[in-house]
Each structure stands twice: as C-alpha cells, then as structure tokens.
Structure 1
C-alpha cells in the first residue's frame, strides 16, 4: 500500500461513544476529515443533534445512535441496528466517560458505581458487542480511551484511576483474545486536556501552575492534538500494533 494511503479512513464507519462534546466530538471531526463515516453516540438526543450540526458545518457527515453505553441490552440492540441499517462498524472509539472527585475515605458508593459503569463497564459492553461483528469479518479497529490516570494517581480521584487502570488492562486482554481474529485493539491515553470535564481545573490558577511545572511540554493539551494518534490507531498505519497504550500527555508519564 502506498504511504499516502496508510492513514486514509475512506470507506470506513466509526462509532464513537460519548461524542456529543469534548474529546469524543473532536475525534469524530478528526476521523471524519480523514474520510470516515461517523456514528455519533450519547444519551441525549438533543446534544447529539447539536454535535451533528457542528460536524456538518465542518463538512463531516454523520448519523446518530442515542443509547446508554452502561446498559448492555441497549448496547447490543443499538450495535445490531447500526450494522443492519447503516453497515459494518469498522472502527470503535470507546470514549464515554465521567469524573467524580472526593477524598477516598468519603467517596460515595453511588459515585463509585457511576464511575465504574461508565468508565469501565461501558468499554466492555460496547467493545464486546462490536467485536462480535468484527470477528466474523476478520477485521476491525477498537480504540479505548485510557488516561494518564491509567498509570498515575492524584488525590481525590482514586476510583477514576482504578477504572482507567482497568481499561488499560482490559485493552490488553481484548488484544490477547481478538488479535487472532484480525482485530487491532489499542488504548489512547490523554494527559491533561482542556475539556468541559476539566473546566474547574483549567480555571484553577494554582492547579494550572502546578500542571505546567509538572508537564515537560509546560501547558494543557488541546483536544485537536489527539486526532493524529486516533487516526493512526484507526487506520492501516497501525496494522501490526495491538494491545498498545499510546500516551498523548506532553511527557507527564516520562518524567518525575
């Protein structure tokens, strides 16, 4: 294959969970610009329609699939519907995620359950449902959104760290089980990025000062800076990359 075609996503369909805003929406736009047909997902139909409008303004066509990624029955039904009505899901970006912050000794059980349901269970539910179709075709790309917290912890977010650490090893497990069927399953691990979920931290001058000193790149990341890594892991350029966690963190995990 000529090098110019290695990163092309033309003719491929990408389902991106949690893609009505933030990192998911940025990746939807990025993969769409590289030729992928995008399926936006979230629980709020109105938010999905707004996201679709933004993509259309950018010249990216998309369809919508509103389902709760934490509901296994709803996931299976939605994935089967996409496959039957739109066509094969060639790429899955498991992006849906939430954050809850509290001292571990006071962390509420409800928040623990919500974090695990969205940040871990949903990765398994959607990954399994999509892989069952990919296995029959002997090809497919799954990219699980991990985190710098897949490797490191900070005060107040131990359950989030636990979930993202589990996603890292679930990614390796998926690759171990499914690579033999022609699938590539990898993780994309963002460091600290300016997103709606991190708005409170971005606006905290003391935290931002700490982060810039802690990060070799000395700044917050921009969500657009995740697109290249996502395209690589979604394209033929990564045809022999499996079970890898690609850190996009400005060097945070490379230094003390």
Structure 2
C-alpha cells in the first residue's frame, strides 16, 4: 500500500557528505524537515559542530561524524560507526566536492588529482560500503550531486566538469548494478547557486550579468531551492525513478 504522504521521511536516516555549509547543509535541512534523522559530515569538526547545533536548534534529530571522504580507511571506519552506534543509513547524499579554476594549459597536476579524488573517487568510496548495508536490507536511496557542468563546460573548469560528467555516469552505473537489490540511485545536477564555493563569482559584476542573461529564470539559485529535489529523490515518491539525473538549474540547460 502506498503511503498517505509519499514525501514523508519519518523513520529514515540520511547521511549527507560535505554538509557543514552550502548546498549540503541546505539538503540536510530539507531532509530533516521532511522527518528524517540526519547525519552531517565534513572534515572540519568545528564547522561541522556549528552546523549540527544550528540544525538541532530546530528540534531535528541530528548527528555529526567528521571523516575524510577521500580516505577509504576513514570512510569505512565512519560508516561502521554510524551503522553500529547511530543507526542504519537509509539515504545517502554524496555531496562533498571542490573547485579550482585555472586555464587548462597551466592547470597544476596536483590540483587535477585532488579534484578527481574529491569529486569522483569519494562518491565510490562512500557509496560502496553504504550500499553493502542497503543491499543486505533490501532498500536504500543514494543521491549523487552532479552539476549542469556534467553536460557543459566553461573556460578554466575543465577538470571539474570532467569529474561531474563522470559522477553522472557512475550514478547510472550504480543504478544498473544495484536496482535489483532494491536501491534507487539518482543524481541532482544543480545550476549556478549562491554558495560559498561561488563566492568569487558572486562578487564579479560581469559574471552576474552573464548569469542573469544566460539563465531563463534570470538569477542565481538559492541553496534552499535544492531541498525539494533532495526530498523527492530520498522519498517513496520517487520509488520508480532510477538512474536519473535531475537538473535544478532554472532552465539553464534547456536553452541555447
């Protein structure tokens, strides 16, 4: 029998990586408001504690676990701790990521490696051990944060765009492998959102004019506007949605 409110996440627990600020925190907050218990993650334990306190002040069930998504040992230890000490992970949002801008001919190789490890390898690092627990239980929701730059690119961000394109296809691959076990694996592809990661762009008057002209909705997205997509993909409302990349971009990718 279908639930009376298919968007209700009560009784579910969500782990959101990179959730001490920005889009990660916004999605964690939306999931908590929909009833989920939330496990926040970041490497910076101070920022993580502040985020947990902020969300907890709203009366939500919040835990905070600091670990490095680029380290398999750190991830495995953290997932074991969450599953054994906090509770089963029903929803995973792979959100942790980074950006570095440089002309490609001058792009530092060590920064290329760091972007690949942080944006792409980490998705596998976290999803695999979480999925093993989900498979054993016969259900689970995994949401990988992609980008409109999975389909497009701009000068100075080719490595970032490459990782996001790879995350989109890894998402499809996860869905193909794990759907038979009761898992739904989908991606969210944000457009240009007003976050700390885009602080330099937000201060650039020329770039802001370009965003207003290039985006049919004529503005940047606000972090809270990503929450509904996260709740949809985490809930029973999306139970037959699998291997899909949901663009939340103000129609940016729909126009030329």
Question: Normalised by the shorter chain, which TM-score bucket?
Answer: over 0.9
Instruction: Name the SS of the counterpart of 2:209 in structure 1.
Output: helix
Q: How many residues align?
A: 256
- How big is the shift at 1:4? 4.1
CA distance in 2, matches of 1:16, 1:139: 18
Instruction: Name the SS of the counterpart of 1:15 in structure 2.
Output: strand
- How big is the shift at 1:113? 0.9
Alignment partner of 1:102 is 2:102: yes
CA distance in 2, matches of 1:33, 1:85: 23
- What's the counterpart of residue 193 of structure 1? 193
CA distance in 2, matches of 1:202, 1:220: 9
Gaps in structure 2 of 5+ consecutive residues: none
Instruction: Name the SS of the counterpart of 1:198 in structure 2.
Output: helix
Q: Deviations over 1:73-118 (max 9, x none)?
A: 1111110110011111000000000000000000001110110111
Alignment partner of 1:74 is 2:52: no
CA-atom RMSD, angstroms?
A: 0.9
- How big is the shift at 1:254? 0.4
Instruction: Report runs of 4+ in structure 1 exceeding 6 Å deviation.
Output: none
Alignment partner of 1:240 is 2:233: no
CA distance in 2, matches of 1:65, 1:53: 13
Q: TM-score if structure 2 supplies the norm length? A: 0.98
CA distance in 2, matches of 1:254, 1:170: 23
Alignment partner of 1:216 is 2:232: no
CA distance in 1, matches of 2:222, 2:152: 20
CA distance in 1, matches of 2:210, 2:117: 31
Instruction: Name the SS of the counterpart of 1:6 in structure 2.
Output: coil
Q: Deviations over 1:40-63 (max 9, x none)?
A: 101111111100111022222211
CA distance in 1, matches of 2:197, 2:135: 34
Q: TM-score if structure 1 supplies the norm length? A: 0.98
> After superposition, where does 1:65-144 map in structure 2 within 5 Å?
65-144=65-144
- How big is the shift at 1:225? 0.5
